[in-house]
Amino acid sequence: MDTQEEKIDLLSMESRPAYLESPLTIDSVRVLWSKTYNATGKPDWSHLYPYYHPEIVFQDTIQRIEGIEAFRGLCERMAGRCQSLQMEILSIAQNGDTILMDWIMTMSFNKYPPTPVYGSTKLVLHADGRIIYQRDYYDLWGDIFNGIPYFKKTYRKFVRKHFG
């Protein structure tokens, strides 16, 4: 008779999309993310959604989102706000079920010049190979304020004075 763990693992495998024959790797993540962000227009995450577990937890500096529908909504809102969005993966590494990457995301909004944001992403894979947890780390305000003439110097002085 099957153990409870074996039953859970079989259920996980049955719910995995057919094209996810093996878990995501640094090579497949690099290819998939390069199709998402482009220099010619808005980002498109539609090809990535199947790689996310229905119970995905996404967290960044601003928010925490739980569930695939809430995550899709977040992605659509970001695409709607940006005129264009590019991502350059600087480095990527994997240890077991965890993938880490450093990146530069350049966002372009109406009436404003493109703004680079420097960050990192941690992806944790579920037993079925899909992404169950994503944590993005970045300094949103610092990177944006660096692009505002006259304010950059004041902001950096404030940060040094109050935070070290």
Give the pLDDT band (50/70/90) at residue 5.
very low
> What local confidence, expressed as pLDDT, does residue 39 receive?
59
**Closest CA relative to residue 58, chosen from 145, 117, 121, 149:** 121
Q: How many CA atoms lie within 13 A of 61 on its CB side?
A: 12
| 3-state secondary structure at position 156 | helix
Does residue 18 surpass a pLDDT of 70?
no
Q: Return the minimum-mean-pLDDT range out of 26-40, 48-62, 150-164.
A: 150-164
Over the chain, what is the mean pLDDT? Answer: 81
Are the C-beta atoms of 156 and 81 separated by less than 8 Å? no
State pTM to two decimals.
Answer: 0.78
The residue with greater pLDDT, 92 or 139, is 92
The residue with greater pLDDT, 146 or 32, is 32
> What local confidence, expressed as pLDDT, does residue 3 receive?
46
Domains in the chain and their CATH numbers?
4-139 (3.10.450.50)
